[in-house]
Structure formats: structure tokens, C-alpha cells
Amino acid sequence: MDRIRIVGGNALNGVIPISGAKNAALPLIIASLLTSDTLTLENVPHLADVELLLRILGNHGVDVSVNGRREHQNGSYSRTIHFTCRTIVDTTAPYELVSKMRASFWVIGPLLAREGRARVSLPGGCAIGTRPVDLFIEGLTALGAIIEIDGGYVEARAPKGGLVGGTYTFPKVSVGATHVMLMAASLARGKTVINNAAREPEIVDLAACLNAMGAKISGAGTSTIVIEGVQALSGARHRVLPDRIETGTYAMAVAMTGGDVVLEGTDAALLDTALEAIRRAGATVTPVENGIRVVRNGSDIRPVDIVTEPFPGFPTDLQAQFMGLMTRANGVSHVTETIFENRFMHVQELARLGAKITLSGQTARIDGVSRLRGAPVMATDLRASVSLVIAGLAAEGETLVSRVYHLDRGFERLEEKLGRCGAIVERISD
């Protein structure tokens, strides 16, 4: 099993290219099930979650063709992938695949919309909370679906004539359920109105792609989305937006270690709230042509309190990384998690590096320390794993991060990108 070895103490200087967003690529790939034509996606990251989803879609009859890799001058690459699903050959998404990644449950929307039926295993993924599928079921039911849960599977069927437009108000914001509603409603008869919809950039990206395929969606990026159903969708070509979580992660790494790095191929507007928190912590963050420049030279890391919230608030997917940054702050900071009830599993691992963190319910108090010391640590989920990398970059001596398969789910060539900016970081294959 691979591990990542880090020797801390080096500032980061250089350019880090930002990959396509995992959280946008996954629903965009699933949208290929909605049409018999070819959907071409550019800037698709090479990640474990993407590769698993390609296997899952192959099970449903999607043919996948990957163009040659376009090498980037800094060593990263993006891929263009063509997806063609002439016929859906199987409307069942089995447990052995869906249990490995929660987002694969989202195939229920396109399968139901196009074929009128779907049998999808209850999902798996990171153990960061229960994350029930109730909102998915309620939303699809509002479109006329008849849904039962039997033997660990969600079995759904559309009424005769297919799904029908309807109005649904989410009792709480759900990015995944909003994705599914967008895809399903695109092929429903009549108008669908989604209230209290997720506003994340990834929602906007999916809506843009669906519109390019012939859907009629308005309001994406606001809390009310309107979809006028169409009879069929066509193929399209769409570029996956930059990964705002990867952007924020590397920005926090620079704030942690000091240095001067340009994050290339990204957009500050995707994560204003997180970048403002990094500025308050003492780094200079400046939009530049085709990216963001992050600098911290000599100044202390200042304590900052943050609360995770749906977009445009502070992203829950950057909470662990920001906590890693705050372990070295000159004072006391607080991190409150409001999205998931079990997303503090990185705390005990950060403590192994010398961090002083006290938990009280959904709030963590971080007493900043003058130094961290390297130690063996274990990743518990995707974002927790990279928070340990950030802490290790600033720790004295050697940090060994195990279970890095979590990291490979969401970060493309992390050790190479950091290494090109002066970090001592390498992957060790046992």
C-alpha cells in the first residue's frame, strides 16, 4: 500500500497547475447516460473516483474513448474523454461498484429519465456522516417516480409516459440531489421548479453542459432552478471547470509553509469565501492572468474562525485543510462544521504531529503551536488526508502519511505538483 513521505520546512515557490474539478467531472460524466449521442468532456482529471465511475458507466453500456494526454509544461495534464451510450444495456448499478463511491448513486436520475426504471445500490464513499438518500427519493418522487427500497437497493420506475415536471423544495441544501434533479427533470414532460437548490459552481457547470446538450435550464447558481423538459438530448462538447477545492488546498499549503506560488488555470471567483479566510490568516492572495497568486513571506499565521456552509459560504471540503493551517496560527481559532456530523476524524492525526485541538460538539478549538513535529499518520478520508500533507509540509522532520488511496480519489499528481515548488515529498510503494 502506497504512502507519502514528507520532509517539512521548505517554502513553496513556483507554479502549480490546477486540474479539472472532481466534483464537477463526476456528474458531467454521469450526464452522458441521458443521450445516445456522444458527449465530449475536456479537462477531465485523472483520479481514482473518475476511473471507478468509468467502470460503472461501462456496466450500463457507455463506450469511453480517451484522447492522448496533453502534457502541461509543469507536468500536469488534462484529458479529453468521449462518452457514447447508444443503448443502456443494464439499469442496475450493483452494490460492489456503488458501495465504493457515493456519487455513483447519481446514475439513478439519468437511468430513470431515459429508460423509465433504475435499480441502484445504496451508496458508499467517505465515512464522514450518514448522508441519507431521502432527498434524492423525495425529489424524484416529485417528478412522478415510484420508489421502493428493497434488499439494499433503491428501485425506481417512472409512470407510463415517463417522468413529469413538478415542484420540489429541498428541506436542506443538497448538492448531489440537486445534480440528480437537474438530470432527471431535463427529460421530464413539462416544467420543473427546484426551490432551495444548491448554488455551487459545479451545479452551474452541469446546467451549462445540459443546456449545450439541448436542455432548457435557467436559474442555476441561484436557489431556484427552472427546467423545461425536452423530449431528447443531443451530444455536446464541454470543458470541466477548475477544481476550487484543489485551488484552496494549495493556497492553504502556501499560507502554511510560506513562499510565492501561482495557481494556474483557476478562478478566484469559485472560492471567494475561502480565499478571504486565507487572507485574514496573513497570506496575500491576488487574482492574476489565468490564475491566483498566493504569497506569505515572513509574517505570522493569524488565527481565523470559520464556519462551513453551503456555497457561497466556506466549503466543508476545505475545512480539514484550514484546520491544518490553523495548527500553526499565533493564537486560538475555531472551526465549526455544519454540513457533516462526522468530519473531524483528522483531529487525532493532527494531534500526532503536535497540534492542540479540543472538540466540543461540531466546533473545534485550535490552540496554535510554534512548531509541529513529523510523525507517522493515517488518512481517514479524502480531505483529511491532504490536511495531513499540509501539516507535514511545515512540520520538523519526516511525516509518513499512510492510506493515501483516499488522496488519490481527489488530487491529481499531488506529490509532483508540490515537488516542483520545492517541497520534499515522495510516494513510497511498499
CA-to-CA distance for 104 and 99, rounded, in angstroms? 8
Question: Is 339 among the annotated ligand-binding positions?
Answer: yes
- Do 210 and 181 contact (CB within 8 A), yes or no? no
Question: Is 131 among the annotated ligand-binding positions?
Answer: yes
Question: Is 121 among the annotated ligand-binding positions?
Answer: no
Question: Is 22 among the annotated ligand-binding positions?
Answer: yes
Question: Is 425 among the annotated ligand-binding positions?
Answer: no
- Do 186 and 233 contact (CB within 8 A), yes or no? yes
CB neighbour list of residue 51: distance below 8 Å, 6 or more residues apart: none
Q: What is the DSSP string of 288-356?
A: ETTEEEEEE-SPPPPP--EEB-STTSB-GGGHHHHHHHHTTSSSEEEEE--S-TT--TTHHHHHHTT-E
Question: Is 102 among the annotated ligand-binding positions?
Answer: yes
Question: Is 386 among the annotated ligand-binding positions?
Answer: no
CA-to-CA distance for 6 and 392, rounded, in angstroms? 6
Question: Is 173 among the annotated ligand-binding positions?
Answer: yes
Question: Is 317 among the annotated ligand-binding positions?
Answer: yes
Amino acid sitting at position 366: I
Nearest of 282, 348, 413, 415 to residue 7 by alpha carbon: 415
- Do 369 and 394 contact (CB within 8 A), yes or no? no
Question: Is 134 among the annotated ligand-binding positions?
Answer: yes
Question: Is 135 among the annotated ligand-binding positions?
Answer: yes
CA-to-CA distance for 83 and 93, rounded, in angstroms? 18
Question: Is 133 among the annotated ligand-binding positions?
Answer: yes
Does 126 participate in catalysis according to the annotation? yes
Catalytic residue among 85, 126, 209, 421: 126
Residue stretches of the annotated binding site for phosphoenolpyruvate: 22-23
Residue stretches of the annotated binding site for UDP-N-acetyl-alpha-D-glucosamine: 102, 131-135, 172-175, 317, 339
Active-site amino acid positions? 126
Residue stretches of the annotated binding site: 22-23, 102, 131-135, 172-175, 317, 339
